[in-house]
A and B are shown apart, each in its own frame.
Chain A
Amino acid sequence: GDQVEQSPSALSLHEGTGSALRCNFTTTMRAVQWFRKNSRGSLINLFYLASGTKENGRLKSAFDSKERYSTLHIRDAQLEDSGTYFCAAERGSGYNKLTFGKGTVLLVSP
């Protein structure tokens, strides 16, 4: 089946620094979404991309369907950015079936 490989599985950052999360896909995907898990366990939408890049505040995401990857960049990390982040990709055949990565646990420390 379709595979979404998300890395790293865990990431520690100091406040004010930045890094990137990455998802690689085993097949061509039509679109990708990035989510953050909230305190209750549900998912909050961060980005939806069918191509190119999007930026929102300190977050920026890119999606390259041809090269089969997507990234989520976090800059100037803050303590409240700590949490679990997921990517999910949509192949585009028929209904909008999303395949999720296993998530990245981000810990931002002072």
Chain B
Amino acid sequence: AQTIHQWPVAEIKAVGSPLSLGCTIKGKSSPNLYWYWQATGGTLQQLFYSITVGQVESVVQLNLSASRPKDDQFILSTEKLLLSHSGFYLCAWVPEEQYFGPGTRLTVL
């Protein structure tokens, strides 16, 4: 069975500091992967999607970037965090319907 892992579980970071969030899926080759973000009290928004290594498409620009360095890895990052980056980040695997990872809660202070 496929399992989706995200790391870290939670982060507290300072404004202006860099960020790297990871997502990996085990048990599936060449998965379609998505990054989502939800501000506190807000609606889930798709940020990026990737269907293969080295390929990433942006859905919503939030001063974030994403990369797909390995088949089973999807990374979300920024060099300088903003206060508005706080929220809950979810990675999803999409064979057809979407399956979500456990999420990372980010607090930017």
Q: List chain A positions with a Cβ less than 8 A from chain B.
A: 31, 33, 35, 40-45, 48, 86, 88, 95-98, 100-102
Contact = CB atoms under 8 A, between A and B. Distances in A.
Interface string B13-53: 00000000000000000001010001000011010010100
B98 A96 contact: yes
B97 to A, nearest CB: 4
Given A41-B105, A42-B101, A96 B90 contact: no
B43 A42 contact: no
B32 A96 contact: yes
B102 A97 contact: no
A33 B102 CA distance: 18
B100 A42 contact: yes
Contact of B98 (A33, A40, A41, A102): A33
